[in-house]
Structure 1
Amino acid sequence: MSIDRIDRKILALLQENNRIPNIELAVEVGLSPPACLKRVRQLRESGVIIRDVSLVNPDLSNNKMTMLVSVEMERDRKDIYARFQSSITKAPEVTECYQTTGNYDFVLIVCVKDIQAYEVFLERVLRADPNIRKFQSSVSIRRIKYSTAIEVTQ
């Protein structure tokens, strides 16, 4: 799907507030309400918009610790990576997982209640995987920036 200036503006506004009424959205981007609704529908159907979610205040969670975990696999093999990715996808403590270049193969964002809960996660997920060579954990002291919005340039 080709994305033009109006689509980019729609996407920027929806990333700020996906509950904005269509009439307000249409005014903001300079379209009629039916034309705006049609564009939003096309953005969803084409997979440009992949989900509509609500971001919940993390202070309401019992998970007060955020860990950044770098993981190095024993071997660089597709089947090993696939098993690891499947395991990580099932672990509720892992909120983000990135395959990376450099010294480590993956970086995880792990949110847990306390250090004991993190130790349980380590035993159940990371230490149970014989294909992990090593991992390094860093404790986040505070979150400086967090955003789910991305700039669409296409």
Structure 2
Amino acid sequence: MEELDEIDRRILAILQNDATLTNQELAGRVHVSAPTCLRRVRRLVEAGVIEKQVAIVSPEKVGAGLTGIVEVTLDVQAAERLADFEAAMAGERAVTQCYRVSTGPDFVLVVQVPDMAAYHELVHRAFTAQRNVRNVRTFFSVHRSKFDTRVAL
């Protein structure tokens, strides 16, 4: 895909704040015609710039109010073992984010669970049952002062 121009950036900025807008409403805010806006949004989706459009749900209001930030260190960091761990985490519903990181642990995860009992079940299933996991360290959120899904444009 070619470089994003100012119209693309305006479309992305607006959609990051409210993806429920109709194409007509979005076009009006971006100051382009509705067909132009639709064509550009489709192009951004096809190019993978827009990965998906979702509803952001409040974890506390659906019974998943315990947030853990988990550091995981593996015994063996061979590419295949790292990929195996990532695949296992992709299958864990409680794991909402998984990052392979440098310097320190091998992975940092964000998990959402209902309570400590559910966290302990996750730890047993996802970490201690895996032979390649050497160390797990979890920090529990006591207050979320900022949460944003927007990417700076």
TM over 0.5: yes
Which stretches of structure 1, 4 residues or longer, exceed 4 Å deviation after superposition?
Answer: none
Cα distance in structure 2, aligned partners of 1:98 and 1:60: 26
Cα distance in structure 2, aligned partners of 1:6 and 1:23: 15
Quote how far apart the aligned CAs of 1:118 are.
Answer: 0.9
Identity %: 37
Q: Between Structure 1 and Structure 2, how many residues are aligned?
A: 152
Match of 1:87 in 2: 88
**Mean alpha-carbon deviation: is it higher for 21-30 or for 103-112?**
21-30
**Mean alpha-carbon deviation: is it higher for 120-129 or for 55-64?**
55-64
Quote how far apart the aligned CAs of 1:115 are.
Answer: 1.0
Aligned-partner residue type, residue 114 of structure 2:
K
Quote how far apart the aligned CAs of 1:90 are.
Answer: 0.8
RMSD over aligned Cα atoms: 1.2
Match of 1:52 in 2: 53
Q: The residue matched to 1:107 in structure 2 has which SS?
A: strand
1:5 aligns with 2:6: yes
**Mean alpha-carbon deviation: is it higher for 81-90 or for 28-37?**
28-37
Match of 2:109 in 1: 108
* Unmatched runs of 5 consecutive residues or more in structure 1: none
Match of 2:41 in 1: 40
Match of 1:72 in 2: 73
Q: The residue matched to 1:55 in structure 2 has which SS?
A: coil
Contact 2:70 2:109 in 1 (8 A): yes
Cα distance in structure 1, aligned partners of 2:64 and 2:21: 30
* Unmatched runs of 5 consecutive residues or more in structure 2: none
Normalising by structure 1, report the TM-score: 0.93
Q: The residue matched to 1:102 in structure 2 has which SS?
A: coil
Q: The residue matched to 1:133 in structure 2 has which SS?
A: strand
Normalising by structure 2, report the TM-score: 0.94
Cα distance in structure 2, aligned partners of 1:67 and 1:119: 12
